[in-house]
Amino acid sequence: MALEYRSAFALVLFLAASPHLSADWPQWRGAQRDGKSTDENLLEQWPAEGPPLEWTASGIGRGFSTVSATSERLFTMGDFDDSQFAVAIDRANGDLLWKTRIGPSWADSNLYPGSRSTPTTDGDRVYALGTEGTLKCLRQDTGETIWQRGLIEDFGGFVMMARAGVNWRYAESPLVDGDWIVVTPGSPEAAMVALDKLTGEEVWRATMPTVGDQGDDGAGYSSIVISHGAGVKQYVQMMGRGLAGFRAEDGVFLWGYNAIANDVANIATPIVSGDYVFGSTGYQTGAVLLELVRSDDGVRAEERYFLAGDSFQNHHGGIVLHNGYLYTGTGHNQGFPLAARLDTGEVAWGPVRNAGRNSAAIAFADGKLYFRYQNGLVVLIDASPEGYQERGSFEIEGVDGPSWPHPVVDGGRLYLREHDRLYSYDVRAQ
Protein backbone atom coordinates (compact mmCIF):
# COMPACT_ATOMS: atom_id res chain seq x y z
CA MET A 1 0.00 0.00 0.00
CA ALA A 2 2.83 2.39 0.86
CA LEU A 3 4.48 1.72 -2.50
CA GLU A 4 1.19 2.27 -4.33
CA TYR A 5 0.66 5.53 -2.44
CA ARG A 6 4.16 6.77 -3.27
CA SER A 7 3.71 5.84 -6.94
CA ALA A 8 0.38 7.63 -7.15
CA PHE A 9 1.82 10.68 -5.40
CA ALA A 10 4.77 10.73 -7.79
CA LEU A 11 2.36 10.58 -10.73
CA VAL A 12 0.43 13.56 -9.38
CA LEU A 13 3.67 15.54 -9.01
CA PHE A 14 4.72 14.59 -12.53
CA LEU A 15 1.42 15.70 -14.03
CA ALA A 16 1.46 18.94 -12.06
CA ALA A 17 4.94 19.74 -13.35
CA SER A 18 4.28 18.69 -16.93
CA PRO A 19 4.11 21.43 -19.55
CA HIS A 20 0.67 22.32 -20.88
CA LEU A 21 0.58 21.08 -24.45
CA SER A 22 -2.61 21.31 -26.47
CA ALA A 23 -3.53 18.49 -28.82
CA ASP A 24 -6.12 20.21 -30.89
CA TRP A 25 -5.87 22.91 -33.55
CA PRO A 26 -9.22 22.20 -35.18
CA GLN A 27 -9.33 24.91 -37.80
CA TRP A 28 -7.75 27.90 -39.47
CA ARG A 29 -5.74 29.93 -36.93
CA GLY A 30 -6.61 27.56 -34.07
CA ALA A 31 -9.53 26.93 -31.74
CA GLN A 32 -10.52 30.62 -31.49
CA ARG A 33 -9.35 31.64 -34.98
CA ASP A 34 -6.95 34.10 -33.38
CA GLY A 35 -3.62 32.53 -34.31
CA LYS A 36 -2.84 31.68 -30.68
CA SER A 37 -1.72 28.34 -29.27
CA THR A 38 -2.33 27.42 -25.62
CA ASP A 39 0.95 25.48 -25.42
CA GLU A 40 3.29 26.36 -22.57
CA ASN A 41 6.88 25.53 -21.57
CA LEU A 42 8.21 25.87 -25.08
CA LEU A 43 11.73 26.80 -26.14
CA GLU A 44 12.58 30.34 -25.06
CA GLN A 45 15.56 30.46 -27.40
CA TRP A 46 16.20 28.42 -30.53
CA PRO A 47 19.59 26.83 -31.15
CA ALA A 48 21.60 28.22 -34.05
CA GLU A 49 20.32 25.53 -36.42
CA GLY A 50 16.72 25.98 -35.27
CA PRO A 51 14.49 23.60 -33.31
CA PRO A 52 14.95 19.85 -33.94
CA LEU A 53 13.22 18.52 -37.06
CA GLU A 54 11.09 15.55 -35.98
CA TRP A 55 9.79 14.32 -39.35
CA THR A 56 8.99 15.42 -42.89
CA ALA A 57 5.80 14.43 -44.69
CA SER A 58 5.82 14.43 -48.47
CA GLY A 59 3.33 13.79 -51.24
CA ILE A 60 0.67 16.21 -49.95
CA GLY A 61 0.33 18.22 -53.16
CA ARG A 62 1.07 21.79 -54.14
CA GLY A 63 -0.61 24.50 -52.13
CA PHE A 64 -0.58 27.28 -49.58
CA SER A 65 -3.05 25.65 -47.18
CA THR A 66 -1.81 25.29 -43.63
CA VAL A 67 -2.86 22.46 -41.30
CA SER A 68 -5.58 21.74 -38.78
CA ALA A 69 -4.98 19.10 -36.13
CA THR A 70 -6.56 16.58 -33.80
CA SER A 71 -4.65 14.46 -31.30
CA GLU A 72 -3.96 11.82 -33.96
CA ARG A 73 -4.16 13.47 -37.39
CA LEU A 74 -3.24 16.55 -39.35
CA PHE A 75 -5.34 17.80 -42.27
CA THR A 76 -4.45 20.00 -45.20
CA MET A 77 -5.15 20.37 -48.93
CA GLY A 78 -3.03 20.13 -52.05
CA ASP A 79 -3.13 20.03 -55.84
CA PHE A 80 -2.15 16.89 -57.74
CA ASP A 81 -2.11 17.36 -61.53
CA ASP A 82 -5.66 18.40 -62.46
CA SER A 83 -7.34 17.70 -59.09
CA GLN A 84 -7.35 19.22 -55.62
CA PHE A 85 -7.43 16.91 -52.62
CA ALA A 86 -7.98 17.03 -48.88
CA VAL A 87 -5.17 15.11 -47.19
CA ALA A 88 -4.86 13.40 -43.79
CA ILE A 89 -1.45 12.86 -42.19
CA ASP A 90 -0.45 10.70 -39.21
CA ARG A 91 0.60 13.13 -36.51
CA ALA A 92 3.07 10.67 -34.98
CA ASN A 93 5.27 10.08 -38.01
CA GLY A 94 4.05 12.12 -40.99
CA ASP A 95 2.68 9.17 -42.94
CA LEU A 96 -0.06 9.92 -45.49
CA LEU A 97 -3.30 8.29 -44.29
CA TRP A 98 -5.77 9.22 -47.04
CA LYS A 99 -6.55 11.82 -49.66
CA THR A 100 -9.97 12.71 -51.11
CA ARG A 101 -10.65 14.67 -54.25
CA ILE A 102 -12.47 17.96 -53.56
CA GLY A 103 -12.51 19.47 -57.04
CA PRO A 104 -10.29 20.69 -59.88
CA SER A 105 -6.84 22.04 -59.14
CA TRP A 106 -5.98 25.72 -59.41
CA ALA A 107 -3.24 25.63 -62.01
CA ASP A 108 -3.00 29.18 -63.40
CA SER A 109 0.74 29.76 -63.21
CA ASN A 110 0.24 33.52 -63.24
CA LEU A 111 -1.88 33.49 -60.06
CA TYR A 112 0.12 31.26 -57.70
CA PRO A 113 -1.21 27.72 -58.33
CA GLY A 114 -2.15 25.53 -55.40
CA SER A 115 -4.75 25.08 -52.68
CA ARG A 116 -5.62 27.92 -50.29
CA SER A 117 -8.18 26.77 -47.71
CA THR A 118 -7.49 24.90 -44.46
CA PRO A 119 -9.85 22.01 -43.56
CA THR A 120 -11.95 22.31 -40.40
CA THR A 121 -12.29 19.33 -38.05
CA ASP A 122 -15.34 18.61 -35.91
CA GLY A 123 -15.91 15.33 -34.09
CA ASP A 124 -15.57 12.51 -36.60
CA ARG A 125 -15.87 14.84 -39.60
CA VAL A 126 -13.70 17.14 -41.68
CA TYR A 127 -14.95 20.02 -43.84
CA ALA A 128 -12.90 21.11 -46.85
CA LEU A 129 -13.52 23.95 -49.30
CA GLY A 130 -11.86 23.80 -52.71
CA THR A 131 -10.67 26.77 -54.73
CA GLU A 132 -13.61 26.33 -57.14
CA GLY A 133 -16.10 26.60 -54.28
CA THR A 134 -16.88 22.91 -53.67
CA LEU A 135 -17.55 22.27 -49.99
CA LYS A 136 -17.29 18.66 -48.83
CA CYS A 137 -17.98 16.95 -45.53
CA LEU A 138 -15.68 13.94 -45.06
CA ARG A 139 -15.24 11.14 -42.56
CA GLN A 140 -12.19 11.94 -40.49
CA ASP A 141 -10.92 8.36 -40.32
CA THR A 142 -11.31 7.36 -43.97
CA GLY A 143 -11.83 10.53 -46.01
CA GLU A 144 -15.15 9.20 -47.37
CA THR A 145 -17.45 11.94 -48.68
CA ILE A 146 -20.67 12.34 -46.64
CA TRP A 147 -22.16 15.34 -48.49
CA GLN A 148 -21.12 18.23 -50.70
CA ARG A 149 -22.38 21.65 -51.82
CA GLY A 150 -21.19 24.16 -54.38
CA LEU A 151 -20.80 27.82 -53.45
CA ILE A 152 -21.02 28.82 -57.09
CA GLU A 153 -23.59 26.28 -58.32
CA ASP A 154 -25.92 26.34 -55.31
CA PHE A 155 -25.63 29.97 -54.20
CA GLY A 156 -24.41 31.96 -57.21
CA GLY A 157 -21.22 32.78 -55.36
CA PHE A 158 -18.13 34.58 -56.65
CA VAL A 159 -14.93 36.09 -55.30
CA MET A 160 -14.07 39.78 -55.55
CA MET A 161 -12.50 40.88 -58.84
CA ALA A 162 -13.50 37.59 -60.51
CA ARG A 163 -15.66 39.42 -63.03
CA ALA A 164 -12.74 41.74 -63.80
CA GLY A 165 -10.53 38.78 -64.67
CA VAL A 166 -8.41 38.83 -61.47
CA ASN A 167 -9.41 35.82 -59.41
CA TRP A 168 -7.36 33.87 -56.89
CA ARG A 169 -10.39 31.64 -56.23
CA TYR A 170 -11.88 30.73 -52.86
CA ALA A 171 -9.43 30.81 -49.95
CA GLU A 172 -11.85 30.77 -46.99
CA SER A 173 -11.62 28.10 -44.30
CA PRO A 174 -15.12 26.89 -43.23
CA LEU A 175 -16.43 27.78 -39.77
CA VAL A 176 -18.19 25.13 -37.67
CA ASP A 177 -20.42 26.70 -35.01
CA GLY A 178 -22.63 24.37 -33.02
CA ASP A 179 -24.87 22.46 -35.43
CA TRP A 180 -23.95 24.61 -38.41
CA ILE A 181 -21.17 25.14 -40.87
CA VAL A 182 -20.94 28.73 -42.13
CA VAL A 183 -19.24 29.87 -45.35
CA THR A 184 -19.15 32.92 -47.62
CA PRO A 185 -20.34 32.38 -51.22
CA GLY A 186 -20.15 36.16 -51.75
CA SER A 187 -23.20 36.81 -53.96
CA PRO A 188 -25.60 39.64 -53.04
CA GLU A 189 -28.39 37.09 -52.46
CA ALA A 190 -26.14 34.68 -50.51
CA ALA A 191 -23.24 36.69 -49.15
CA MET A 192 -23.01 34.18 -46.31
CA VAL A 193 -24.83 30.88 -45.71
CA ALA A 194 -25.34 28.57 -42.75
CA LEU A 195 -25.75 24.86 -43.47
CA ASP A 196 -26.62 21.89 -41.29
CA LYS A 197 -23.22 20.36 -40.64
CA LEU A 198 -24.58 16.81 -40.67
CA THR A 199 -26.54 17.00 -43.93
CA GLY A 200 -25.45 20.12 -45.81
CA GLU A 201 -29.03 21.38 -45.92
CA GLU A 202 -29.48 25.16 -45.95
CA VAL A 203 -30.41 26.82 -42.64
CA TRP A 204 -30.31 30.44 -43.81
CA ARG A 205 -28.71 32.67 -46.40
CA ALA A 206 -27.71 36.27 -45.79
CA THR A 207 -28.21 39.10 -48.25
CA MET A 208 -25.82 42.03 -48.26
CA PRO A 209 -26.72 45.56 -49.31
CA THR A 210 -24.35 48.02 -50.93
CA VAL A 211 -22.09 49.45 -48.23
CA GLY A 212 -19.84 51.68 -50.33
CA ASP A 213 -17.86 52.08 -53.52
CA GLN A 214 -14.45 50.84 -52.38
CA GLY A 215 -13.42 47.30 -53.13
CA ASP A 216 -15.58 45.00 -55.23
CA ASP A 217 -18.65 42.82 -54.81
CA GLY A 218 -18.09 39.22 -53.82
CA ALA A 219 -16.29 37.25 -51.15
CA GLY A 220 -12.87 38.30 -49.97
CA TYR A 221 -10.08 35.86 -49.13
CA SER A 222 -10.69 35.99 -45.39
CA SER A 223 -12.42 33.62 -42.95
CA ILE A 224 -15.38 34.20 -40.61
CA VAL A 225 -14.90 34.94 -36.90
CA ILE A 226 -17.52 35.00 -34.15
CA SER A 227 -18.26 38.18 -32.20
CA HIS A 228 -20.64 38.92 -29.32
CA GLY A 229 -20.18 42.65 -29.75
CA ALA A 230 -22.98 44.87 -28.41
CA GLY A 231 -24.48 41.75 -26.83
CA VAL A 232 -25.44 40.21 -30.19
CA LYS A 233 -23.86 37.01 -31.49
CA GLN A 234 -22.75 37.67 -35.04
CA TYR A 235 -20.47 36.40 -37.77
CA VAL A 236 -17.86 38.95 -38.81
CA GLN A 237 -16.17 38.68 -42.18
CA MET A 238 -13.85 40.70 -44.41
CA MET A 239 -15.80 40.83 -47.68
CA GLY A 240 -14.93 42.29 -51.06
CA ARG A 241 -16.57 45.55 -49.93
CA GLY A 242 -14.96 45.54 -46.48
CA LEU A 243 -15.91 44.40 -42.99
CA ALA A 244 -19.44 43.16 -42.34
CA GLY A 245 -21.43 41.58 -39.51
CA PHE A 246 -24.37 39.18 -39.85
CA ARG A 247 -26.65 38.09 -37.00
CA ALA A 248 -25.80 34.50 -36.19
CA GLU A 249 -29.31 33.25 -35.47
CA ASP A 250 -30.77 34.09 -38.87
CA GLY A 251 -28.14 35.74 -41.09
CA VAL A 252 -29.66 39.22 -40.98
CA PHE A 253 -27.16 41.85 -42.14
CA LEU A 254 -26.24 44.08 -39.17
CA TRP A 255 -23.51 46.45 -40.30
CA GLY A 256 -20.85 47.10 -42.92
CA TYR A 257 -17.70 49.21 -43.08
CA ASN A 258 -16.39 50.04 -46.54
CA ALA A 259 -13.34 52.24 -45.98
CA ILE A 260 -11.08 49.27 -45.21
CA ALA A 261 -11.73 47.63 -48.60
CA ASN A 262 -9.17 47.77 -51.37
CA ASP A 263 -9.77 47.15 -55.05
CA VAL A 264 -7.69 43.97 -55.43
CA ALA A 265 -7.82 41.55 -52.48
CA ASN A 266 -9.07 41.79 -48.89
CA ILE A 267 -7.39 38.91 -47.10
CA ALA A 268 -6.52 39.09 -43.39
CA THR A 269 -8.93 37.48 -40.92
CA PRO A 270 -10.41 40.14 -38.57
CA ILE A 271 -9.59 40.33 -34.86
CA VAL A 272 -12.50 40.45 -32.40
CA SER A 273 -12.20 41.56 -28.78
CA GLY A 274 -15.31 42.26 -26.72
CA ASP A 275 -17.27 45.00 -28.49
CA TYR A 276 -14.40 45.73 -30.87
CA VAL A 277 -13.44 44.53 -34.34
CA PHE A 278 -10.02 45.24 -35.83
CA GLY A 279 -9.38 44.78 -39.53
CA SER A 280 -6.55 45.48 -41.93
CA THR A 281 -5.87 45.08 -45.65
CA GLY A 282 -2.90 45.61 -47.91
CA TYR A 283 -2.48 47.47 -51.19
CA GLN A 284 -1.70 50.63 -49.19
CA THR A 285 -5.12 50.68 -47.51
CA GLY A 286 -4.47 50.51 -43.75
CA ALA A 287 -6.28 49.34 -40.63
CA VAL A 288 -9.36 50.21 -38.57
CA LEU A 289 -10.77 49.66 -35.09
CA LEU A 290 -14.57 49.51 -34.94
CA GLU A 291 -16.75 49.52 -31.84
CA LEU A 292 -20.02 47.61 -32.11
CA VAL A 293 -22.90 49.50 -30.47
CA ARG A 294 -26.56 48.55 -30.02
CA SER A 295 -29.03 50.47 -32.12
CA ASP A 296 -32.77 50.38 -32.69
CA ASP A 297 -32.41 48.09 -35.70
CA GLY A 298 -29.69 45.86 -34.25
CA VAL A 299 -26.01 46.83 -34.21
CA ARG A 300 -24.02 49.63 -35.76
CA ALA A 301 -20.24 49.86 -36.20
CA GLU A 302 -18.57 53.09 -35.11
CA GLU A 303 -15.04 53.91 -36.20
CA ARG A 304 -12.69 54.51 -33.27
CA TYR A 305 -9.58 55.12 -35.38
CA PHE A 306 -8.22 54.49 -38.85
CA LEU A 307 -4.52 53.96 -39.55
CA ALA A 308 -3.15 54.77 -42.98
CA GLY A 309 -1.24 52.16 -44.91
CA ASP A 310 2.13 53.68 -44.06
CA SER A 311 1.36 53.14 -40.35
CA PHE A 312 -0.29 49.69 -40.30
CA GLN A 313 -1.32 47.38 -43.09
CA ASN A 314 -1.36 43.60 -43.21
CA HIS A 315 -1.28 41.97 -46.62
CA HIS A 316 -2.12 38.32 -45.85
CA GLY A 317 0.10 37.04 -43.03
CA GLY A 318 -2.35 37.71 -40.20
CA ILE A 319 -2.53 39.63 -36.94
CA VAL A 320 -2.28 38.44 -33.32
CA LEU A 321 -3.77 40.22 -30.29
CA HIS A 322 -1.99 39.57 -26.98
CA ASN A 323 -2.39 41.48 -23.71
CA GLY A 324 -3.93 44.47 -25.44
CA TYR A 325 -1.33 44.76 -28.18
CA LEU A 326 -1.58 43.89 -31.86
CA TYR A 327 1.37 42.13 -33.50
CA THR A 328 1.72 41.79 -37.24
CA GLY A 329 3.96 41.98 -40.25
CA THR A 330 3.19 45.39 -41.73
CA GLY A 331 3.71 46.77 -45.22
CA HIS A 332 2.25 45.48 -48.45
CA ASN A 333 4.12 42.26 -49.26
CA GLN A 334 6.70 43.21 -46.65
CA GLY A 335 6.06 41.69 -43.22
CA PHE A 336 7.98 44.19 -41.12
CA PRO A 337 7.36 43.19 -37.45
CA LEU A 338 5.29 45.80 -35.61
CA ALA A 339 3.48 46.11 -32.28
CA ALA A 340 0.60 48.56 -31.64
CA ARG A 341 -1.95 49.18 -28.90
CA LEU A 342 -5.40 47.92 -29.78
CA ASP A 343 -7.30 50.65 -27.96
CA THR A 344 -5.46 53.62 -29.47
CA GLY A 345 -3.52 52.34 -32.48
CA GLU A 346 -0.35 53.82 -30.99
CA VAL A 347 2.73 51.98 -32.28
CA ALA A 348 4.84 50.50 -29.46
CA TRP A 349 7.71 49.44 -31.73
CA GLY A 350 8.44 48.78 -35.37
CA PRO A 351 8.37 48.46 -38.23
CA VAL A 352 11.60 46.43 -38.03
CA ARG A 353 13.76 45.16 -40.89
CA ASN A 354 15.21 41.73 -40.13
CA ALA A 355 16.63 39.02 -42.40
CA GLY A 356 13.14 37.94 -43.54
CA ARG A 357 11.88 39.13 -46.90
CA ASN A 358 8.42 39.97 -48.23
CA SER A 359 5.20 38.84 -46.54
CA ALA A 360 5.26 37.18 -43.12
CA ALA A 361 2.68 34.77 -41.68
CA ILE A 362 2.54 34.69 -37.88
CA ALA A 363 1.34 32.61 -34.94
CA PHE A 364 1.63 33.00 -31.16
CA ALA A 365 2.61 30.52 -28.45
CA ASP A 366 3.93 30.82 -24.89
CA GLY A 367 4.76 34.52 -25.07
CA LYS A 368 6.48 34.29 -28.45
CA LEU A 369 5.66 35.19 -32.04
CA TYR A 370 6.50 32.76 -34.81
CA PHE A 371 7.17 34.75 -37.99
CA ARG A 372 7.44 32.74 -41.22
CA TYR A 373 8.68 34.78 -44.19
CA GLN A 374 8.09 34.42 -47.90
CA ASN A 375 11.78 33.60 -48.45
CA GLY A 376 11.55 30.65 -46.02
CA LEU A 377 13.11 32.27 -42.96
CA VAL A 378 11.38 31.55 -39.63
CA VAL A 379 12.03 33.93 -36.72
CA LEU A 380 11.11 33.64 -33.02
CA ILE A 381 10.27 37.05 -31.50
CA ASP A 382 9.16 38.13 -28.03
CA ALA A 383 5.48 39.12 -27.90
CA SER A 384 6.17 42.18 -25.75
CA PRO A 385 5.45 45.88 -26.23
CA GLU A 386 8.80 46.67 -24.57
CA GLY A 387 10.75 46.26 -27.79
CA TYR A 388 11.73 43.98 -30.64
CA GLN A 389 13.76 40.99 -29.49
CA GLU A 390 14.65 37.96 -31.60
CA ARG A 391 15.10 34.57 -29.96
CA GLY A 392 16.43 32.58 -32.89
CA SER A 393 15.82 31.86 -36.55
CA PHE A 394 16.30 29.17 -39.19
CA GLU A 395 15.58 28.54 -42.87
CA ILE A 396 13.01 26.05 -44.14
CA GLU A 397 14.47 23.45 -46.49
CA GLY A 398 13.42 23.22 -50.10
CA VAL A 399 11.57 26.52 -50.51
CA ASP A 400 9.89 26.50 -53.92
CA GLY A 401 8.17 29.78 -54.70
CA PRO A 402 6.49 32.01 -52.11
CA SER A 403 6.71 30.41 -48.64
CA TRP A 404 3.32 31.58 -47.38
CA PRO A 405 1.38 28.97 -45.32
CA HIS A 406 0.73 30.11 -41.76
CA PRO A 407 2.72 28.39 -39.00
CA VAL A 408 0.88 26.16 -36.51
CA VAL A 409 2.10 25.49 -32.96
CA ASP A 410 0.28 22.64 -31.26
CA GLY A 411 1.22 19.78 -28.94
CA GLY A 412 4.76 21.10 -28.58
CA ARG A 413 5.33 20.97 -32.35
CA LEU A 414 5.78 23.68 -34.94
CA TYR A 415 4.21 22.66 -38.26
CA LEU A 416 5.37 24.38 -41.44
CA ARG A 417 3.89 23.56 -44.85
CA GLU A 418 6.11 24.00 -47.89
CA HIS A 419 4.01 22.94 -50.90
CA ASP A 420 4.40 19.15 -51.26
CA ARG A 421 6.07 18.78 -47.85
CA LEU A 422 5.10 19.33 -44.22
CA TYR A 423 7.76 19.73 -41.56
CA SER A 424 7.26 18.93 -37.86
CA TYR A 425 9.69 20.61 -35.44
CA ASP A 426 9.92 19.82 -31.74
CA VAL A 427 9.72 23.17 -29.89
CA ARG A 428 9.23 21.81 -26.36
CA ALA A 429 11.60 23.10 -23.69
CA GLN A 430 14.09 20.34 -22.87
| pLDDT number for residue 20 | 78
What whole-number distance in Å separates Cα of residue 371 and Cα of residue 381?
Answer: 8
- For residue 18, pLDDT over 80 is answered with no
| pLDDT number for residue 21 | 85
In terms of pLDDT, which residue wins out, 289 or 398?
Answer: 289
What whole-number distance in Å separates Cα of residue 157 and Cα of residue 21?
Answer: 40
User: Residue 162 — very low, low, confident or very high, per pLDDT cuts 50/70/90?
Assistant: confident
| pLDDT number for residue 249 | 98
What whole-number distance in Å separates Cα of residue 224 and Cα of residue 244?
Answer: 10
Give the Cα-Cα-Cα angle 297, 300, 305 (nearest 5 degrees).
170
What lies within 8 Å, CB to CB, of 122 at 6+ separation is 26, 176, 197
- For residue 317, pLDDT over 90 is answered with yes
Q: What is the pairing mode between strands 96-104 and 298-308? A: unpaired
| pLDDT number for residue 109 | 64
Per-residue pLDDT tens over the stretch 202-238: 999 999 999 999 999 999 999 999 999 999 999 999 9
Buried b / exposed e over 405-427, threshold 16 CB at 10 Å, is: bbbbbbbbbbbbbbbbbbbbbbb
Per-residue pLDDT tens over the stretch 87-140: 999 999 999 999 999 999 987 766 788 999 999 999 999 999 999 999 999 999
Amino acid at 165: G
H/E run at residue 16: helix 2-17
Percent of the chain with pLDDT over 70: 95
Q: Tell me what the mean pLDDT of segment 401-425 comes to.
A: 97
Q: Tell me what the mean pLDDT of segment 357-385 comes to.
A: 98
Report all structural domains of the chain as residue ranges with CATH numbers, in order of start: 23-426 (2.130.10.10)
- For residue 1, pLDDT over 70 is answered with no
Per-residue pLDDT tens over the stretch 254-274: 999 999 999 999 999 999 999
- For residue 169, pLDDT over 50 is answered with yes
User: Residue 165 — very low, low, confident or very high, per pLDDT cuts 50/70/90?
Assistant: confident
What lies within 8 Å, CB to CB, of 243 at 6+ separation is 236, 237, 256, 257, 260, 270, 277, 279, 288, 290, 301
Cis peptide before 351 (omega within 30 of 0): yes
Number of residues that this document lists for the chain: 430
User: Residue 176 — very low, low, confident or very high, per pLDDT cuts 50/70/90?
Assistant: very high
Q: Tell me what the mean pLDDT of segment 377-391 comes to.
A: 98
Average model confidence (pLDDT) across the chain: 94
| pLDDT number for residue 19 | 58
What lies within 8 Å, CB to CB, of 88 at 6+ separation is 73, 74, 75, 96, 97, 98, 99, 126, 140, 143
| pLDDT number for residue 430 | 80
| pLDDT number for residue 400 | 85
